Amino acid sequence: MRIGGRGPFGLVLRRCLAAVWLPTLLAALAGLVLQRAAPPQLADAAAATAAVSSPWLMLPLLVAAIGAAVTAVRFWPPFAAQRPGAETLRRLQRGPLAGNGATIAGALTAQLALTSLVLGALAGSFGAPAARAHVEPRPAREGLLLPGTAPLTFTAADGPVCRTLLLRPHAGLPDGPITATRLEVRADGELLTTAPLACVEDRQLLRFDFAPRSVHELTITATAGTVPLWLPRGAVVLVGDAERPWPLNAALVALIGLVPTFAALALALLGGRVAALPTVTTVVVAILFVSIAGELGPLPAAVRALLRGQWLPASPVFPASIPSLLVGSLAMILSMSWPAGSRR
């Protein structure tokens, strides 16, 4: 009999795929049906387009993450050091991580495979546009924008070739009657659009396309109206012209989705030195639920970026995953330096 993947990595990968593919598929189908049955209610559907996502795409991602993590924990006895067989495996295993690193890598690879497929297959159905780089030009100064005040200037260092501008200003209360503030936007001195741009609500999205061009400097001027506007960092976004491969973007989201699972499994490994299997399993599920469904981890932001057509490498999503990564790494280091099996 030919047996492939003999080490913990191959064993856990196979076991996770075998145990989790069906629940993930069912969750993906359920998510699709629910998204169709309960679409998000939009005040301005034309402006929002794909920037709006319903929560249902998170469902298969949550199922895949929890399924892979729990399968790994139940499969590999050293996740609960007092479990029968744990010390037998510790004795067999080589290396400083004693097979635990390979086990975690196996679970993460299974999750990556499943979630890449889910995201690749479903992102289009959920309305994700083509992926493009989103660039946040830096404001030269911060200030309120009102007719008569100095224009606000934003610079994009590399002068990327762009085709769309997104504005989402913060709005304040005027002294007098409320009249929408009209804006004029110039790129390197040239008017970007002649279409009317008026803002009256706080964080109202203003979106317009223009002929693709390189943009080094944006100048925004208030020409009329009474609503004071403020454009902090992130309120002005240029969308690049070059279309990026969306399957790769989906795969990057799946990659970010591994971070909470890594942290949960590393913490489980650490906690498992003293805790029993049910406790460890509960902790893993709780961490992943809070991180994904509770939006404490980086995955929900990454999914939103995918559904908004943001090219992940140019977005701030990756830096946002660093804290979870650090927590997981610290837990791994502590579990390595805590000798197991010293107590009977």
**Chain contacts with other proteins (rule: CB under 8 A):** 1, 3, 6-8, 11, 15, 75-77, 84-94, 99, 341-344
**Which C-beta is closer to other proteins: that of 91 or that of 141?**
91
Write down the least CB distance from residue 277 to other proteins, Å.
Answer: 13
Task: Answer whether 187's CB lies under 8 Å from 218's CB.
Answer: yes
- Burial class (CB within 10 angstroms; exposed 0-12, middle 13-18, buried 19+) of 46: exposed
- Spatial distance between the Cα atoms of 18 and 123, rounded to a whole number of angstroms: 24
Q: Interior CA angle at 168 toward 161 and 165, to 5°?
A: 20
Task: Answer whether 291's CB lies under 8 Å from 297's CB.
Answer: yes
Other Cβ atoms closer than 10 A to 30: 14
Write down the least CB distance from residue 269 to other proteins, Å.
Answer: 16
Q: Sign of the CA dihedral 154, 160, 164, 168?
A: negative
Write down the least CB distance from residue 6 to other proteins, Å.
Answer: 4
**Which C-beta is closer to other proteins: that of 28 or that of 280?**
280
DSSP bridge partners of 224: 182
**Which C-beta is closer to other proteins: that of 82 or that of 164?**
82
**Which C-beta is closer to other proteins: that of 7 or that of 316?**
7
Write down the least CB distance from residue 19 to other proteins, Å.
Answer: 9
**Residue whose entry in the numeric block shows the structure tokens 């099996």:** 341
- Spatial distance between the Cα atoms of 173 and 185, rounded to a whole number of angstroms: 23
Query: What residue type is 97 in one-letter code?
Result: L
**Which C-beta is closer to other proteins: that of 98 or that of 270?**
98
Cβ-defined contacts of 339-344 (< 8 Å, 24+): 340/78, 340/81, 340/86, 340/87, 340/90, 340/98, 340/273, 341/81, 341/86, 341/87, 341/90
Write down the least CB distance from residue 2 to other proteins, Å.
Answer: 8
**Which C-beta is closer to other proteins: that of 5 or that of 172?**
5
Secondary structure (DSSP) of 132-160: B-EE-PEESS--EE-TTSPPEEEE-TT--
**Which C-beta is closer to other proteins: that of 95 or that of 177?**
95
**Which C-beta is closer to other proteins: that of 164 or that of 279?**
279
Write down the least CB distance from residue 94 to other proteins, Å.
Answer: 7
Write down the least CB distance from residue 118 to other proteins, Å.
Answer: 24
Write down the least CB distance from residue 7 to other proteins, Å.
Answer: 5
